Amino acid sequence: MSPKFNPAQLNLQAFAAMSGHLDGRCDRATDGAEIDKTFARLAAESCVPHGLAHVTWHAQAELRDAVGAEPQVWVHLDVSAALPMICQRCMTPALVDVSSQHWFRFVADEATAEVEDDTSDEDVLVLTPRYDLLALVEDELLMSVPLVPMHENCPVPVLTQVADKDFVDEPVERVHPFADLKLKMQSSEG
């Protein structure tokens, strides 16, 4: 019998020692408002109230030998979520897929984590006895939220073509930017 692991208070050392896997999904359709409680910071990024549709994650842990040290805990995390955000092309809500896949290595203390994080491809974190894996899932998703969210295909007509047409139609004289500045200064003086 494998022990039951609680992702919010995970004994990572034991989890890694048995090469544990954990899958989770929090879905508004089945779990209701629970998703807003469990992932409150991510839910706050939604452009509509109670919009975060689901959070899905898969964690896989292992112990790896380390040179001159105890074997280290490594965790691979694969996370995804569906979050309504305002599309920056058509300015209507878009259900944006947010996802991330990452390796994490766990070390004994903050000082080691800071030094080794800078020189490692994987993220280096501090091992705590009861690790909150759900908070890490949420951190990962928050860092993966796009800065400029967009629909793949906008559901409404977008006006960029009109703007482009105006731009092309207008006779443009090539003026050196500083010459332009000089002209502007003269016109504001006069």
Mapped onto helix, strand or coil, the DSSP state of residue 132 is coil
Report d(CA 133, CA 141) in Å as an integer.
12
H runs (alpha helix) in 93-132:
110-118
State the binding string over 154-173 for Zn ion (x if CB under 5 A, else -).
Answer: x-------------------
Task: Give yes or no for residue 85 binding Zn ion (CB under 5 A).
Answer: no
Query: By C-beta, is 157 or 177 nearer to Zn ion?
Result: 157
| Residues in binding contact with Zn ion, number by CB under 5 A | 5
- Residue nearest Zn ion, CB atom distance: 87
End-to-end CA distance of the chain: 87
Task: Give yes or no for residue 87 binding Zn ion (CB under 5 A).
Answer: yes
Q: Which two tokens stand for residue 118?
A: 């800078």
Rounded to a whole number of angstroms, the minimum distance from the CB of residue 85 to Zn ion is 10
Task: Give yes or no for residue 47 binding Zn ion (CB under 5 A).
Answer: no
Q: Tell me the three-class secondary structure of 138-171, residue by residue.
A: HHHHHHHCCCCCCCCCCCCCCCHHHHHHHHHHCC
Task: Give yes or no for residue 125 binding Zn ion (CB under 5 A).
Answer: no
Query: By C-beta, is 102 or 151 nearer to Zn ion?
Result: 151
Rule CB under 5 A: which of 127-156 touch Zn ion?
151, 154
Rounded to a whole number of angstroms, the minimum distance from the CB of residue 141 to Zn ion is 21
Single residue of 54, 76, 89, 102 touching Zn ion by CB under 5 A: 89
Strands of the chain (E only): list them: 21-27, 54-66, 69-86, 93-107, 123-126
Rounded to a whole number of angstroms, the minimum distance from the CB of residue 143 to Zn ion is 23
Single residue of 83, 90, 96, 125 touching Zn ion by CB under 5 A: 90
- What residues form DSSP beta bridges with 73? 63, 106
User: Edge-to-edge, what's the strand order for the sheet holding 21-27?
Assistant: 21-27, 54-66, 69-86, 93-107, 123-126
Rounded to a whole number of angstroms, the minimum distance from the CB of residue 67 to Zn ion is 50
Task: Give yes or no for residue 86 binding Zn ion (CB under 5 A).
Answer: no
Q: In degrees, to the nearest 5, what angle opens at C-alpha 21 toward C-alphas 17 and 25?
A: 145
User: Where does this chain bind Zn ion (CB under 5 A)?
Assistant: 87, 89-90, 151, 154
